[in-house]
Structure formats: structure tokens, C-alpha cells
Amino acid sequence: MLFTRYRIILLLLLLIVLSGCEINRLRSAEDLYRNNFYAAAIVELDDLISSAENRAIATRAEIVRSNCYSALAEAAVEKKNWPLAIRFFKLANSDSANLRLAEIYRDLSLEAEKAGNQIVSKTYLDAIIREVPESPLIPEVLYRRICYFVDVKSDNESAWNDYTRLYDNYQNNPYEILARNYVMRFVPGKLKYAEVLNEQGYYADALKELFELSKYPVVDMDQVNKQISAVYEKQAEELLSEQNYIEADRLFRIAMQYYPQKKASITSRLESITNLFIQKGNSLLEAGDFQGALVHYRKTFDIIPDYPPALEAIDRLFTIQENIRKAAELCKQGEQLEATGKLNEAMQAFNSAYALDPKPEYKQKANLVQNLIEANKNPSAFARRIITEYKGGLLTKRIQNQKQELLKRYKENEIQDSGWILMLSTGQYKYEARYDLLTPNETYLYVWQINLRDRSIIPLNKLSEALMQ
């Protein structure tokens, strides 16, 4: 114990000594920096940073090193040695150095632009965005890139991407306001493109284009809304041809919201589809979609109040709904009968409910009760039938296929085939089914749990699970 305490004390003393040495080395490097011996200071600082045990000293050394590189960079700037200045500012790796780097890129870009070298000018602008995205020069850079894309490259899409970035992040910045004049030059082309998309049936793409344009103060909103209305109207007409009347009606009304001047023509169009709502409602009623049918019948009242064919259809629907109510009562009776063990009466009630309202639920309940009746008669035989009839005898077939594969490697007398073994599992209606194939070297043990109530089969090992896939 005493030895351990001595070791700790010695280590602490060693750290103190080392820290003292590191502080002296840092002070020496700082003196070099203050006396403008930047290169020598950097050498000393690099060595200190790589070896320092005290992280505070290492951090301070990194700051001083950054200042050295910045000083070297400024010296290079005075000599207009731009590659060296850029290199040193990057090595400085500080916020202030990055801002100066952006300024140099901007100045070089302006010089290249004045010299007529637009490509080189843009290269420096790209460098600012890529290397110094937090620079306050970004609005200016984006504006100048927009000018380049429009005037030099005729690349309207790139110009638009830069403008959206400029507006989204620097709204009402002087450069954003200046950029609007450039963007307005090609906005009509984007509107025309949206119109073409609509004509060709690319409705989602057309709306995406128009809604994006609507976010920015470079478009005539009346014109944009008119085009948006046209897209919804064209979709509505297409849906009418597909007999999707509810969705067509919804889109027609959206079209009117965006361009109210179309109200008269669209209302006239809606009146012509009143009977189509009735027809669609009738088809839904026949398919058992009562709520959908009722929605379609009542939708006609938005066009013709108290439309007689719709009223008649609704009366017919209510009669069917009454049958649904009665079926639900019979289902509850069946559930009560099942709970008291009167399975035959319960099955009759479920079947009667299904006759009034052909819900899969009622048929399923009748089938489950039928399962219970069979399970109570001879559960083992019922379990065997479930497992052997699963997916047309799939499990039996695959087990036999596995046996045939084993016969390729073993003699028949070397293979033990257990056949199906059924035994009671946990719960009244749960049985375990086993099938074993044994050889001198290989063992195949298949086991499942069978729920007699719903005929479900659950594999109890990976081998059995794989056989069911």
C-alpha cells in the first residue's frame, strides 16, 4: 500500500517537471513568434504539439502556430505571392484566417474578371463557397455566380439554384435584390417548362416547379396561380375519364381556389357529372363500400339539392345498413353462445350474420367455431389434418424431399423416419407436431406448435421455420 502511494507521488512529481519543461518550450516558441521568427516558432510548436502531455499547453501551442501561419500569409500577401498566401492561410486553420482566405479569393476573382478570364474568376468564387461557406462574402459570391451562369454560360438552372440559396439564406440582402433582375430574364422559360410538363401529363413535376417559383419574388403570382389551376383542372378531367369522381371534384374545386375566374366553367362541368356520382355510388354499394356510396350519393346535393335518384339510392343504402346492424347483433349472440359452449348454435348465429352482412369477420368467426367443434371431437386427428394439409401438403412434401436427399448419401435402413408425431402442448387447443429424420451422421428434428382454434402453425426451431418459407 505504501509502495503504491510512493509511485503515485513520483508520477505527480514527474508530471509537474514535464509540465514545467513544456511551459518553457511554449514560452520560447512565443518569443520566436513575437520576434517574427515564424518558421522557427512553427518547428518548435509542431514538436511541442506532438509530444505535450498537458493538453492546455498543446491547445495554446496550436493557437500560436495558427498565428504564425497567418503572419506568414500576410507577408506573402504584401508580396502578392498568392499561392503561398493561400497555402499559409489554409495551414493557419482559424476562423479569421478563413475569412482572409475568402477575401483573397474574392480579390483574385475580380482581377480575373477584369482581365476577361471569366472561367478563372468563377473558379475562385467556387472556392469561397466550398472552403469558406460561413464567409460574409457569400451573398456577393452567389450574385456574381448568377451573373456568370446567365451572361456567360446560359445555364439558367444553375443560376436558379444559386438564387434560391441566396434568397433562402439572405432574403432582402442588397445582392439578393440585384440578383432578381437576372433571374427574371429566364423565369418565363421556367413557366413555359411547367406548362409543357402539364401538357405531357407530368402533373406532380409541373406543380413542383410552379410551387417552387411561387416562393420567390421574381414571378407574376397571377400567372403562376393560373397555371397551377390549369394543372389541377387537367388532372380532374383525366380522373373523370377514369370514373374517379370524388377526386375529380376535389381537384376541380382546388383549381377554382387558385383561379376564381374559372368558377362558371368549372361549375357547369360539375353539373354534367351529377349522374356519374350516382352511378359510382351504385357500383360502390354493390361492392359493399357503403360509406363510399353514401359519400357519392350525398355529393350530388352539392350540385342538385334533394336529387331524387340520390334520395332513392340513400334509402336503399339505409336498408342495407339496417341489415348490418342486425348482423352485428347476431354476431354478439354468437359470441355469447360460444362463451357458454353452445358451439353449434354459435356457428348458426355467425352464419346468419354473414348472410345479412357478408363481412369476412363473421365468416372467420363461423370458421373458428367450426374448428372448435372438430377439435372437441378428435383433437389429435384434427391437428394431424392441419399440419399435413398446410399449403397443400407443403411440409410433408419438403420432408420427403429431404429424405430423398438423405437416400443419396445413406442406405434406407440407415435412415430413421419417425413419421408425424402429435402430442398435446400448452393450452387446451394447442398441439405439438414432430417429424424426425435420423442418420448416423445427420439429424433433422422438425417441430411445430398447432393452434386448433385458428389452424395457425408456429415453427419451434430454425429448421422448421426454414421448411415453411
pLDDT digits (tens, 9 = 90+) for 401-441: 999 999 999 999 999 999 999 998 877 889 999 999 999 99
pLDDT at 2 over 60: no
Query: Where is pLDDT greater, at 463 or 266?
Result: 463
Burial of 26 from C-beta contacts in 10 A (0-12 / 13-18 / 19+): buried
Give the single-character DSSP code of 134. Answer: T
Vertex 111 angle, CA 109 and 113, to 5°: 70
- According to the model, what pLDDT value does residue 4 have? 54
Query: Where is pLDDT greater, at 93 or 52?
Result: 93
Structural domains in the chain, CATH included, are 273-377 (1.25.40), 379-468 (no CATH)
Q: Which amino acid is at 116?
A: G
The Cα 327–Cα 77 span in angstroms is: 90
pTM: 0.54
Arithmetic mean of pLDDT, 349-355 = 92
The Cα 260–Cα 251 span in angstroms is: 13
The Cα 65–Cα 49 span in angstroms is: 10
Contact (CB, 8 A) for 330 and 365:
no
